[in-house]
């Protein structure tokens, strides 16, 4: 058994637990977990963003993740200590059902599980542990330094006061909403945490009153946070409990409220929602936010075009390029752009077999050299003050094989089918997901991840409630931003993914379509025009013309000449 697990078992004994539930999150259920709070990574070595553990007092512990991370977990998780499962094959719930007699007392840490998450395991009568047990054996600095500033209305489009007025009218006249979604709080109050560039959400809680007034409780010194709106009062997070004890008629969001907080205010709760009232207003971007996303994507297109030109030049001159070097270089090009605040996630820079690891994270030990005959996949993005970007391009290094070309073109056909979709108002992402998969399905192939996710405006690069995946039933509304990223992965050999961001717009009465945000050329060396219809060829040519017209005025002459060739008609 792993040494860290051995240290944890006596603490479980003290709590009378036979098994402990743990998953990848922090006390704020934030989309991006700070390194000092990545407890799953510290315990078992897994660095991905989706993991669920059942830590067992006897026998092997259980590790669950989704299909994106199965290859990665095989490399990072100790098989002698954990059985590894794909959620599609076995869920934690199903495993507990089968083994509950062996592990009758199941515990969870109240700060790390929400009310709705605990509800899914109610059958097992789980026992809440008030203090995070891993923190007793993991010695590391807990202090997180936030740098909180207001997000200007020229980027937000609406003032916080306007947003609060629209949301507050949904509350009981004498009631308050306890807000526990950090993205929602940051959006509602027009504030951002500039110390967390991947996801600049403010680690906080808020109490929203029916008159639009707010008490904001931040994981920082309150006197270091300056908000100009006098109806927003700022306190340190340790004042939250006292404020809740004096509140009445509390409305909570079951999907984000930690069980430890809900347990403390249970008697005062009058309404339990299954979402935050900011969710849809935040997801449906206003005109200013859409305009900002467009401008951010022009600059990001410039950065990516400069990178692709650099990559082409380096490889053409037989200079060594590594996965890590390429990841650092694309960041360098983004840093040169106006309003750049940071990367929206760690770049996924994978050559050959590493490209088949869907969420591969390169480091000095794993970094490979890009070599002739292989495929290089780069999934990266930027946070700009006026928008968030996320793009994937797959590039042939040297001459691609016939298989590479066929699989890339299959993926491209699915990407085009989704990009060109026109659909009735009220259509969900789940209804459209098949469009991106149909060509692969015809050959008995598929990819294990969703086709698209929502994207925030200088917030999380993964934002709900909308998504393009089989299970998502949320209607796609004008103003929603989504990714379009079908792929194909041959384990140990190569990965292919094509990702653009796009937004929903109305077209005619009762119908919607997508408008493209991403402005970066595709690798034409990987496209077999014989596999494309005339409409698909026209789409690629029109897209490349669009890219050239938008990006060419902003790059140097040599880059412009390369871009002209990259965007020439098929």
Domains of the chain as residue ranges with CATH: 3-136 (3.40.350.10), 148-282 (3.40.350.10), 284-566 (3.90.230.10)
- What would the pLDDT profile of 199-255 be if each residue is shown by its tens digit? 999 999 999 999 999 999 998 777 778 899 989 999 999 999 999 999 888 999 999
Mean pLDDT score across all residues of the chain: 94
CA–CA separation, 108 vs 122, rounded Å? 12
Please answer whether residues 344 and 382 qualify as being in contact, where contact means their C-beta atoms are separated by less than 8 angstroms: yes
Query: Could you give the C-alpha distances from 133 to 46, 112, 119, 120, 261, in angstroms and in order?
Result: 19, 11, 21, 22, 17
Q: Would you call 290 exposed, middle or buried from its count of C-beta atoms within 10 A (0-12, 13-18, 19+)?
A: buried
**pLDDT of amino acid 171:** 82
Q: At residue 453, does pLDDT exceed 80?
A: yes
Question: What distance in Å separates the CA atoms of residue 270 and residue 273, rounded to the nearest whole number?
Answer: 10
Give the separation between CA 348 and CA 354, rounded to whole angstroms: 9
| Residue 142: predicted pLDDT | 65
Strand partners, 391: 380
Predicted TM-score (pTM) of the model is: 0.93
Write phi, then psi, for 177 (nearest 5 degrees): -105, 120
- The pLDDT score that the predictor gives to residue 132 is 80
Identify the pLDDT of residue 44.
92
- Mean pLDDT, residues 538-555 taken together: 99
Contacts with 160 (C-beta within 8 Å, 6 or more apart), sequence order: 188, 189, 190, 229, 232
Portion of the chain with pLDDT greater than 70, in percent? 99
Which residues sit opposite 204 in a β-bridge? 218
State the Cα–Cα distance between residues 181 and 395, nearest whole angstrom: 38
Q: What is the pLDDT of residues 416-445, one digit of tens each?
A: 999 999 999 999 999 999 999 999 999 999
- pLDDT tens across 97-146, in order? 999 999 999 999 999 999 999 999 988 888 998 778 888 888 876 667 89
* pLDDT of res. 141: 65
For residues 464-490, average pLDDT: 97
Rounded CA gap, 196 and 205, in Å? 17
**Does the structure show a pLDDT above 80 at 173?**
no
Confidence at 324, pLDDT banded by 50, 70, 90: very high
**For residue 311, pLDDT beyond 90:** yes
Better pLDDT: 328 or 222: 328
What span, in angstroms and rounded, lies between the C-alpha atoms of 455 and 390?
8
Gap between the Cα atoms of 22 and 44, Å rounded: 11
Q: Distance between CA 483 and CA 550 in Å, rounded?
A: 20
With the CA atoms of 440, 443, 446 and 451 taken in that order, what torsion angle do they form, in degrees rounded to the nearest 10? 10
**What number is the average pLDDT over the span 34-61?**
90
Q: Mind listing the pLDDT tens digit for each residue in 362-410?
A: 999 999 999 999 999 999 999 999 999 999 999 999 999 999 999 999 9
Average pLDDT over residues 166-182: 88
pLDDT digits (tens, 9 = 90+) for 146-156: 999 999 999 99
């Amino acid at each position: 058994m792993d040494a860290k697990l051995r240290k944890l078992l006596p603490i479980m004994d003290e709590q009378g637990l036979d098994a402990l539930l743990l998953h990848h999150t922090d006390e704020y259920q934030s989309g991006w977990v700070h390194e000092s709070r990545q407890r799953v990574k510290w315990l078992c070595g897994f660095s991905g963003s989706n993991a669920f553990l059942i830590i067992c007092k006897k026998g092997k512990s259980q590790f669950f993740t989704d299909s994106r991370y199965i290859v990665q977990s095989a490399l990072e998780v100790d098989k002698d200590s954990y059985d590894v499962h794909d959620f599609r094959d076995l869920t934690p719930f199903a495993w507990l059902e089968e083994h509950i007699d062996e592990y009758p007392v199941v515990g969870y840490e109240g700060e790390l599980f929400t009310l709705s998450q605990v509800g899914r395991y109610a059958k097992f009568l789980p026992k809440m542990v008030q203090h995070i047990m891993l923190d007793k054996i993991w010695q590391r600095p807990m202090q997180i330094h936030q740098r909180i500033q207001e997000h200007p209305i020229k980027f937000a489009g609406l003032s916080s006061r306007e947003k609060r007025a629209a949301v507050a009218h949904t509350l009981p006249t004498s009631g308050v909403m306890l807000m526990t979604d950090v993205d929602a709080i940051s959006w509602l109050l027009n504030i951002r945490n500039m110390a967390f560039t991947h996801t600049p959400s403010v680690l906080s809680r808020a109490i929203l009153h029916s008159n639009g007034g707010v008490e904001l409780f931040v994981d920082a010194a309150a006197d270091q946070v300056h908000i100009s709106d006098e109806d927003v009062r700022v306190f340190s997070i340790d004042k939250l409990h006292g404020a809740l004890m004096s509140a009445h008629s509390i409305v909570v969001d079951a999907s984000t409220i930690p069980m430890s907080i809900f347990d403390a205010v249970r008697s005062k709760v009058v309404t339990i929602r299954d979402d935050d009232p900011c969710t849809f207003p935040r997801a449906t971007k206003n005109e200013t936010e859409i305009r900002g996303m467009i401008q951010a994507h022009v600059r990001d297109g410039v950065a990516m075009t400069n990178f692709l030109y650099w990559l082409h030049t380096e490889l053409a001159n037989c200079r060594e390029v590594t996965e890590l070097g390429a990841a650092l270089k694309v960041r360098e090009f983004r840093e040169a752009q106006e309003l750049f605040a940071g990367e929206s996630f760690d770049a996924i820079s994978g050559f050959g077999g590493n490209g088949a690891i869907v969420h591969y994270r390169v480091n000095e030990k794993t970094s490979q050299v890009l070599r002739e005959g292989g495929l290089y996949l780069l999934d990266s993005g930027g946070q700009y003050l006026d928008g968030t970007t996320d793009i994937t391009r797959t590039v042939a290094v040297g001459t691609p094989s016939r298989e590479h070309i066929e699989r890339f073109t299959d993926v491209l056909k699915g990407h085009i089918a989704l990009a060109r979709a026109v659909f009735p108002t009220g259509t969900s992402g789940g209804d459209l997901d098949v469009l991106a998969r149909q060509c692969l399905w015809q050959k008995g192939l598929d990819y294990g991840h969703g086709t698209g996710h929502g994207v925030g405006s200088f917030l999380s690069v993964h934002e709900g409630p909308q998504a393009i995946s089989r299970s998502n039933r949320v209607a796609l509304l004008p103003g929603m931003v989504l990714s379009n990223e079908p792929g194909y992965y041959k384990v140990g050999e190569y990965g292919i993914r094509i990702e653009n961001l796009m937004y929903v717009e109305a077209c005619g009465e009762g119908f919607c379509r997508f408008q493209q945000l991403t402005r970066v050329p595709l690798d034409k060396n990987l496209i077999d025009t014989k596999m494309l219809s005339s409409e698909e060829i026209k789409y690629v040519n029109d897209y490349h013309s669009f890219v050239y017209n938008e990006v060419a005025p902003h790059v140097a002459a040599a880059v412009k000449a390369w871009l002209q060739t990259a965007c020439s008609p098929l």
